[in-house]
């Protein structure tokens, strides 16, 4: 029993926990170990206005433009206005960002109008932020770390959350935790796709349990594909940071020809969705499985010192990025959609909050501006916690028992897992159409109907159920949006949609509704 439960331990969850601990007991529940998640692997940096050459309005405009007409303007304004305060606070906790003399070593990424990205150890920004927040959490009273616990479902009664039903991964025994408020900060869902930059833990858990609890989910068709994941046989799609292109890296096809300028005037620095599709179409045109990123003209010492983690990782696969072209292709990277919240992380379920990639705050719209995600995690992690403290000030914990249903017994679990990921990657990723999406929906409908009202016995079973749930919402939304916008591209409706409506899911039903 805790005053507050935080599900997930990336940047948003850890920042929320630190705020909550000032006002009560906190349990951080994570299905792996503390800090494991996408934040840890984030390379590029944090977009934040800390330079005299920058302006909050410029950051606001860049974010709005990247979002392709679907950003919530108030949410974007909140992000860019409060961002500097939260980053300075992070620095006060001990975060060390790269400096050029007495000033931050700012860099630029796609769709930014000025150099405003701060980074740490070249390309290890996420690791530095997680390190800082973990160290601070470990020094803070009132916080318990509940590791190796997989959250099966929320305990909800009369549209109010009372805690969680979980599985102890070491024993597979059920575990109940009750609280006044729950904050979802479980990250994204990259593992619904065969090819992703996300770690193994990114299986859409927070979104799926929120859906089953009848929370509203929004913009589920908008998934961002990073243009440059390492493309080697039997190697993971290791992220090659966008800042490589920001520093002057060039994309070349398998013939060695530069091509991005043929698709957009900003070439390699066009918004991510455009660069990803440019690579996709170039691969089709040249009948290739990848393109190359070329840094050889930037100088050995600069490349090695600016991208030490990428340099060493690629070297372990036999590629020296200072001397050789690096094979790359797009990979699933970031979910713009998620659990709908207000500006304080509140959902439609009383005392349930969401932040970070799990949430849809409206900041990213149809396409996230590079390096806004870490900033969003810190800002809205803090804001969600502040709202939870206020909203639960005069209530007590109720020991509500969950409904325990029939257990799931998956046959051929790993084969099913792989089949779903392969299906989504081939039919619902960078380029979509009605036929391919309908194929996905039909497959998922059959699978999900067999799991209705059943609960998993193990973490892996639960992750598969959650992947199926999130995949269904993505596919149905993508099918309903007959047009192209931001990161959502329909080859059968390639014309850009100018309307600013959204697609939402309500009441735990796979019935996408158009709003706005």
The set of catalytic residues is: 272
| 392 close to 346: Cβ distance less than 8 angstroms | no
Placement of tokens 């209530």 in the chain: 395
- Cα–Cα distances in angstroms (integers) from residue 336 to residues 72, 85, 384, 464, 470, in the given order: 12, 24, 18, 21, 13
Angle (CA) 213-215-216 rounded to 5° is 150
Cα separation, 127 vs 195, in Å, equals 22
| 486 close to 222: Cβ distance less than 8 angstroms | yes
Mind giving me the DSSP string for 447-502?
Answer: HHHTTTTEEESSHHHHHHHHHHHHHHHHHHHHHH--SBBTTB-BTTB-SBP----E
Closest CA to 191 of 31, 309, 319: 31
Cα separation, 55 vs 116, in Å, equals 10
Burial class (CB in 10 A: 0-12, 13-18, 19+), 121: middle
| 45 close to 118: Cβ distance less than 8 angstroms | yes
Measured in residues, the chain has a length of: 516
Cα separation, 238 vs 314, in Å, equals 9
DSSP letter assigned to residue 196: B
| 513 close to 507: Cβ distance less than 8 angstroms | no
Cα separation, 281 vs 320, in Å, equals 27
Secondary structure (H, E, C), 302-347: HHHHHCHHHHHHHHHCCCCCCCCCEEEEEEEEEECCEEECCCCCEC
Closest CA to 183 of 360, 13, 343, 357: 13
- Cα–Cα distances in angstroms (integers) from residue 77 to residues 222, 385, 481, 515, in the given order: 21, 19, 27, 22
CB-based contacts of 269, cutoff 8 Å, min separation 6: 108, 109, 110, 111, 245, 246
The H-assigned helical ranges of 2-72 are: 11-20, 38-41, 56-66
CB-based contacts of 402, cutoff 8 Å, min separation 6: 153, 155, 165, 176
């Amino acid at each position: 029993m805790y005053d507050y439960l935080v599900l997930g331990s990336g940047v948003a969850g850890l920042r929320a926990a630190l705020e909550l601990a000032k006002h009560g007991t906190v349990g951080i529940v994570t299905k792996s170990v503390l800090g494991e998640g996408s934040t840890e692997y984030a390379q590029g940096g944090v977009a934040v206005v800390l330079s005299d050459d920058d302006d909050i309005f410029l950051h606001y405009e860049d974010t709005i433009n990247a979002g392709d007409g679907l950003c919530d303007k108030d949410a974007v304004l909140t992000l860019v206005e409060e961002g500097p305060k939260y980053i300075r606070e992070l620095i006060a906790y001990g975060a060390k960002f790269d400096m050029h003399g007495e000033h931050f070593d700012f860099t630029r990424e796609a769709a930014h109008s000025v150099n405003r990205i701060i980074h740490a150890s070249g390309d290890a920004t996420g690791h530095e932020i997680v390190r800082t927040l973990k160290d601070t959490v470990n020094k803070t009273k009132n916080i318990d770390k509940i590791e190796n616990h997989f959250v099966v479902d929320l305990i909800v009664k009369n549209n109010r959350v009372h805690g969680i039903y979980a599985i102890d991964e070491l024993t597979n025994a059920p575990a109940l935790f009750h609280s006044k408020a729950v904050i979802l900060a479980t990250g994204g869902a990259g593992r619904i796709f065969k090819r992703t930059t996300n770690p193994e833990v990114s299986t859409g858990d927070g979104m799926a349990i929120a859906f089953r609890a009848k929370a509203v989910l929004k913009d589920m068709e908008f998934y961002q594909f990073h243009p440059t994941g390492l493309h080697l046989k039997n190697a993971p799609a290791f992220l090659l940071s966008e800042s490589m292109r920001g520093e002057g890296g060039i994309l070349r096809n398998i013939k060695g020809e530069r091509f991005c300028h043929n698709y957009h005037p900003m070439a390699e620095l066009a918004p991510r969705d455009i660069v990803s599709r440019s690579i996709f179409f170039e691969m089709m045109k040249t009948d290739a499985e990848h393109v190359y990123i070329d840094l050889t003209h930037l100088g050995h010492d600069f490349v090695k010192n600016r991208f030490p983690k990428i340099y060493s990782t690629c070297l372990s696969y036999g590629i020296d990025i200072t001397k050789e072209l690096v094979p790359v292709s797009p990979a699933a990277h970031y979910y713009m959609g998620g659990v709908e919240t207000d500006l304080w992380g509140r959902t439609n379920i009383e005392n349930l909050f969401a932040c970070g990639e799990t949430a849809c705050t409206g900041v990213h719209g149809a396409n996230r501006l590079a390096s806004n995600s870490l900033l969003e995690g810190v800002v809205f992690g803090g804001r969600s916690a502040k709202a939870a403290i206020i909203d639960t000030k005069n209530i007590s914990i109720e020991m509500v028992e969950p409904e325990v249903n029939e257990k799931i017994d998956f046959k051929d679990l790993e084969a099913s897992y792989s089949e779903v990921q392969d299906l989504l990657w081939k039919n619902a990723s960078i380029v979509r159409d009605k036929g391919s999406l309908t194929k996905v929906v039909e497959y998922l409908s059959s699978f999900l109907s067999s799991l209705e009202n059943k609960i998993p016995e193990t973490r892996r079973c639960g992750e598969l159920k959650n992947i199926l749930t999130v995949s269904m919402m993505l596919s149905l939304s993508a099918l309903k949006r007959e047009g192209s916008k931001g990161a959502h591209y329909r080859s059968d409706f390639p014309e850009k949609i100018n309307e600013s409506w959204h697609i939402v899911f309500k009441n735990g039903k796979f019935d996408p509704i158009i709003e706005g």
